[in-house]
Chain A
Amino acid sequence: MACISRLSLTNFRSFEDLELELPSGVVVFFGANAQGKTTLLEGVYLLAIARSFRAENEREVVRFESAAESGQALAGGEVLRKDGERVTVHVGYQAPSHGPGPSNNGDEGKRGSTRPSPVRKEIRVNRVRTSAAGLVGAVNAVLFTAEDIQLVFGPPAGRRRYLNILLSQSDPAYLRALQRYSRVLQQRNRLLRMLRDGRADPDEMSFWNDELVREGAWITWRRHETIGELGKLCEEHHHSLSGMAEEVLVQYLPRVPPGENLAATERSFRESLVSAEGRERATHTTAVGPHRDDLGLRIDRVDMRAYASRGQARTLALALRLAEAAYLESRRGEGPIVLLDDVLSEMDLTRRRRVLEQASRFQQTLITTTDMDDPHSFFGSAAHFFRVDSGRVTPLSNEAATPATTALTNPVRD
């Protein structure tokens, strides 16, 4: 099981320069809102999946006022693995100093463009520069947030993202295929529009078709293979959360039907692509492929995406996250770091206990909360408490945090 033993954040959102030693086990960050609690989890999760989970544009994470001189924001960490190996991971954002970024080739987009140039990301594992696919898998993490309910109610993109993060963390080859697929998709969509305008030859399409089929069929097949085991795990966790033996069905709803093996899936993909030609000529976008997949979520046959109550949706989303952690553990032979971002306050007592119980099975669980009574009454002195206040993180000794030695219900008030 892995745990993160040191986290450093430099010019990262509200943190100018943070160095934090983290114990294994349950770690609770508490404090008022907007003090930087979620940013700590964002930093850890960034080191796992190479992307910020809450930034629409990753530029946001750079603390520009203090980054001006060095021009970069950095998240770094030291991971302690099951086998005792220590791995250091870094993700840095280089803010464009002035004018266009270095990726600019020629003067295109330079004049008249008001879109901010993207930040350049630099990823290192054990100080060696690598790609996102080289980082993902170095440390696994599963994040629970209050927005997880959107896994059930939200659009298919959120459920695809859930699958993509799960599969990328269990197999870096998946992330690589996904990156290549999305590049092929962009190129192919642009080519479809160029063909419409008579600016390209139809015979240029065959390379992009071949690549789309190869990467797309592989992604479809990997998703298809995964969903059975994932569905079973989800049902188990759902039963123990709800206490009811409802039938939970997590279904893969692929845009291209997978065959009985990868080769058959490739044939199926090619057939779908041929039959979509007419539609593609009308819409000028790629009509088939894993970018149009969805997950079906049913409880006792009822489609939860449309008909779940808020309570049902919340429980199902929790079950999906717990299944994600269990799946990663079974695949990697090493449990992920569990991150609970302000999710406890939303739950009733039974679910809260159940989630904390599950979470504490793992080597390390990081929890943020505004109200520390719950984790405290659950874990008592078995957890480590940190107070987060305007970008400062201070450990609280267990004695001070124990209500037995202080009459206060919330020991942070003095």
Chain B
Amino acid sequence: MSMGPLPAASPSLARLVQELHKLPGIGPKSAQRLAYHLIRLPEDEALALADAITSVKRNVIFCQDCQNLTDISPCSICQEPRRNQGQICVVEDPLDVMALERTHCYDGLYHVLHGVISPLNGVTAHDLKLGDLFKRLEAGSVEELVIATNPTLEGEATSMYIRRHLEGRDIRITHLARGLPVGGSLEYSDDQTLRRAFQGRQEL
């Protein structure tokens, strides 16, 4: 049996290290380094960080329509009148919305699921924002649902669940193409990607 931790010289410092250690990707050593860095910061800079965290927790909410993270609901994307109201693109998380927005090639609406179906991680269809999606589709103004979950087993499970749920409904359901990365080379692609790319080949 090891002895318990020695009483810390500064309990408040120990508490900060402990909180930082809870963050993903931060080990005990990194947590200590970050804590000492914060101590050396000018007070206003350190408080700006604390304030940013407080404000994010107080102000960020889910958009009532697309479930993306936002300060106002409906969010700015859902409120934009020039966007195509007949298309909804379904993504796993808010970072995917940002990635797609950077492309400037899609002007429809989004729906953020906040995860994928994965029993191993305890996530079922009910833990995702799927009910909200199906409610949005009830309204009937949506013509196309673009499923943009990741091409993983769990992403496919989620995509298939949505497709099954909407069977017989008059909605066009598509998903993003799988295949070669732009600028990549055939020689260095793995067989499966190449096979998918071949199956999904297009007329020139």
Residues of chain A touching chain B, judged by Cβ–Cβ distance below 8 Å, are 97-100, 102, 104-108, 110-111, 128, 130-131, 133-134, 172-173, 176, 180, 183-184, 186-188, 190-191, 194, 199-201, 203-204, 206-208, 210-211
Whole-angstrom distance between the Cβ of A114 and the nearest chain B Cβ: 12
Range for the number of chain B residues in contact with chain A? 20 to 34
C-alpha spacing A133/B154, complex, angstroms:
20
Q: Which residues of B contact A211 (CB under 8 A)?
A: 153, 157
| B164, A104: Cβ atoms closer than 8 Å | no
| B119, A133: Cβ atoms closer than 8 Å | no
Nearest neighbor of B31 in chain A, beta-carbon distance: A99
C-alpha spacing A207/B118, complex, angstroms:
12
B140 at the binding interface (Cβ < 8 Å): no
| B27, A128: Cβ atoms closer than 8 Å | no
Residue among B125, B153, B191, B192 making CB contact with A187, cutoff 8 Å? B153
Using A98-B28, A211-B153 as known contacts, say yes or no to A133 and B120 having CB atoms under 8 A apart: no
Q: List 11 other contacts, CB 8 Å, given A104-B25, A111-B22.
A: A99-B29, A104-B24, A107-B24, A130-B190, A133-B191, A176-B191, A184-B153, A188-B119, A201-B125, A204-B117, A204-B161
C-alpha spacing A191/B153, complex, angstroms:
15
Instruction: Tell me the B16-57 residues at the A interface (CB within 8 Å).
Output: 21-30
B177 at the binding interface (Cβ < 8 Å): no
20 contacts between A and B (CB under 8 A): A99-B28, A99-B30, A105-B24, A128-B188, A130-B190, A131-B190, A133-B192, A134-B190, A172-B191, A183-B153, A187-B120, A200-B124, A203-B164, A204-B119, A204-B124, A207-B117, A207-B156, A207-B161, A210-B160, A211-B153
Q: How many A-B residue pairs have CB under 8 A?
A: 84
Q: Lowest 3 A-B CB distances belong to which pairs?
A: A99-B27, A190-B119, A191-B119
Interface centre among A110, A176, A207 (most CB of B within 10 A): A207
Whole-angstrom distance between the Cβ of B128 and the nearest chain A Cβ: 11
B104 at the binding interface (Cβ < 8 Å): no
Using A176-B192, A187-B118, A194-B119 as known contacts, say yes or no to A102 and B29 having CB atoms under 8 A apart: no
B58 at the binding interface (Cβ < 8 Å): no
Instruction: Tell me the B49-96 residues at the A interface (CB within 8 Å).
Output: none
| A201, B27: Cβ atoms closer than 8 Å | no
| B119, A200: Cβ atoms closer than 8 Å | yes
- Cβ proximity bits B106-137 to A, threshold 8 Å, 1 near / 0 not: 00000000000111111011100000000000
Q: Which residues of B contact A102 (CB under 8 A)?
A: 25
Using A176-B192, A203-B164, A207-B161 as known contacts, say yes or no to A99 and B26 having CB atoms under 8 A apart: yes
Q: Which residues of A contact B30 (CB under 8 A)?
A: 98-99
Residue among B24, B117, B119, B190 making CB contact with A106, cutoff 8 Å? B24
C-alpha spacing A190/B153, complex, angstroms:
15
C-alpha spacing A108/B160, complex, angstroms:
27
Residue among B23, B120, B160, B190 making CB contact with A186, cutoff 8 Å? B120
Q: Which residues of A contact B125 (CB under 8 A)?
A: 200-201, 204
| B27, A100: Cβ atoms closer than 8 Å | yes
Whole-angstrom distance between the Cβ of B186 and the nearest chain A Cβ: 13
Residue among B27, B164, B191 making CB contact with A98, cutoff 8 Å? B27
Instruction: Tell me the B155-174 residues at the A interface (CB within 8 Å).
Output: 156-157, 160-161, 164
C-alpha spacing A188/B117, complex, angstroms:
12
Nearest neighbor of B118 in chain A, beta-carbon distance: A187
Q: Which residues of A contact B126 (CB under 8 A)?
A: 200-201
Q: Which residues of A contact B118 (CB under 8 A)?
A: 187
Q: Which residues of A contact B23 (CB under 8 A)?
A: 107
Whole-angstrom distance between the Cβ of A268 and the nearest chain B Cβ: 23
Q: Which residues of A contact B156 (CB under 8 A)?
A: 207
Q: Which residues of B contact A172 (CB under 8 A)?
A: 191
Q: Which residues of A contact B164 (CB under 8 A)?
A: 203, 206-207
C-alpha spacing A108/B122, complex, angstroms:
11
C-alpha spacing A251/B16, complex, angstroms:
63
